[in-house]
Amino acid sequence: MIRLLVVDDHPVVRAGMVAVLGEEGDFEVVGEASNGAEALGLVPRLAPDVVLMDLRMPVMDGAEATARIVAQPGAPQVLVLTTYDTDADIVRAVEAGARGYLLKDTPTALLADAIRRAARGETVLAPPVAARLADRRRAPSRPELTARELDVLRLVAQGHSNADVGRELFIGEATVKTHLIRAFAKLGVTDRTAAVTAAYAAGLIELPRG
């Protein structure tokens, strides 16, 4: 029996997934969460084999939650299930440690098969996602920032100070500066504004919408 934790901020989506997956004889949905922070708290208690993780959620997004979950001892596999297939989203999820990346329009039979494969430790990618990753490998090289460096730049893009970023990510201000210095070096810039602009131009982050 494969134990599942379903993480999505839309109750209707969660209910639909639970209903569909519950019809599979080898699946047991052991819990639901509406954001990454809830999922992080439930994983040690529920011990799922696979976490179905949405990406864009309040409180804590799916990439951050994935990174924290897979860092735990005996961590479950995380399978991203989202409507977004942009390069930046894919890279964040993969760097965070997701075992697979599927889109929400994946047919039920393929989703069930992907869950079984992820539970076995296989990497599972939706065809459009696999194609995008292949394109990235063929494209001219671009900066490879870590998930945490991208997190820092996203918050900087929102106008947060280093101290604010540290509080938001639960890290020290000195650590924030270290991430920024490394990002500057990778992007070939020397200041915060240039770093945000370069990361946006490379498709690594999105700018806040006014």
User: Which tens digit of pLDDT belongs to each residue from 78-92?
Assistant: 999 988 777 677 777
When pLDDT is cut at 50, 70 and 90, the band that residue 100 belongs to is confident
- Within 10 Å of residue 98's Cβ, how many Cβ atoms? 28
CA distance 1 to 200: 43
> Are the C-beta atoms of 166 and 172 separated by less than 8 Å?
yes
pLDDT of residue 210: 47
pLDDT of residue 196: 83
- Within 10 Å of residue 65's Cβ, how many Cβ atoms? 27
All CATH 1.10.10.10 domain ranges of the chain, comma separated, are: 147-201
- Class of residue 191 by CB neighbours under 10 A (exposed 0-12, middle 13-18, buried 19+): exposed
Q: For residue 108, which amino acid is it?
A: T
- Could you please state the CATH topology (level 3) that the domain comprising 147-201 is classified under: Arc Repressor Mutant, subunit A (1.10.10)
pLDDT of residue 91: 74
Over residues 54-66, the mean pLDDT reads 92
Residue 111 pLDDT exceeds 90: yes
Over residues 87-100, the mean pLDDT reads 79
pLDDT of residue 138: 56
What is the model's pTM? Answer: 0.65
CA distance 79 to 117: 10
Assign domain 2-138 to a CATH class: alpha beta
CA distance 205 to 185: 17
- Within 10 Å of residue 20's Cβ, how many Cβ atoms? 14
All CATH 3.40.50.2300 domain ranges of the chain, comma separated, are: 2-138
pLDDT tens-digit readout, 6-42: 999 999 999 999 999 989 999 999 999 999 999 999 9
